[in-house]
Structure 1
């Protein structure tokens, strides 16, 4: 069997029917490990495989190529007994990085976002459930207030239409690789994850409704995508960093997942 040369491979979104220089991340791992052509390599932990599959599918092409560096390290992770640790790391990231990133789209939710980002590591599902409740209440209040302060004129599009557009855009995010990585705790974490998603959807909905929109020149989906783009870009990079930590089972530093302490960032941004 010809050896795998990562330098010549282009990673694709989806699995490919035959082995060539274009293939998905899981297929590249199978080749590197000396397995037959497959997008379900036996040598990779089921949790990491689920996360890698989402990353390979959702990232923009340029950023997808950055995943090639993980191929050697993914080999041999199957059965290493560390998937629960990985799932807890992913849960912590979803609470302290992913959710506050979207809440920050709404200025009035700055403190709610900071309460999550500045929190000590979330080590259990019950802690995550408790921590998300206050921000969720704040988001609901912001959503209720936003109903009377829509800044773009009547377009004939219902609030349900906007909600669907927001949900559709969020469902295409590469950051869902972190959700896939909670496979080992999914039974207990699913409800909490759903509540975080609800808070995120409502926050993005508030931000969308507050942003001026010329519906004659820009579609609703384009309007939503434009507003979400900067956060999407940041989270794409953040979830790649998370994936690196999941592979090696490396917790974040004492300052959390961010490059600077979240309290310092909040003060700099005038949130506290």
Structure 2
């Protein structure tokens, strides 16, 4: 089908694709593998490995097909509107996910512990119970919290700066200055990579020097759930930004049609805002 024919249609409908089914099957393999692994079955790692490889293959082929359709001129007003709505609802779902985890943190800190501390003086949930936050839980393992004005503060500066650099890159894209666009986008990627390296160092020090692990009671579990999930989102963002840079170097996008860049920049700003909340609610307060 030529681009001229596609342009006369109200909405471009691609041919049936095997990749959605392959993606669903791959995710199922990964879930089975993780379930088997948690329960001590050696086959779990093989299921999980095949699932991860299949996911990466399906994503690469699927996204490559979408890029080819975009470069072929098949996407117009209605497709662009659909993509924008899809990205908006995706970010809304991510907001709900992190809001749930922040809600868990609030409940643990402001509701659960004070309630347990208010129980009869002759009853304690576990030996040496203290109603103070952070709580080590029944295990009672001693740990120290991460100092907020070290790596966390530096990572905050890095992510806030990366939000400014990706905005600057978008500014030059809309003016079709590809040299400046490439520089600012590459700088954004570099800031994201440095963030991940520093977070990995923070996790290592937490485990080896502070005694803060996933087994350090409700605080340790919540801390790593929130910061680890955010780190995963930063990793995904860096991968997407790198893919954008590769496409820009190949001459993709122009000043008026570049929704893929806008979508990734929306996602990156969302990651920035979540980190600011993490820094204040998890590290600082």
Q: What interval of TM-score do these two structures reach, taking the shorter chain for normalisation?
A: under 0.3
Q: TM-score, normalised by structure 1?
A: 0.27
Q: TM-score, normalised by structure 2?
A: 0.26
Larger Rg: 2
Q: Which has the higher contact order (CA 8 A, sep 6+)?
A: 1
Greater share of helix residues, 1 or 2?
A: 2
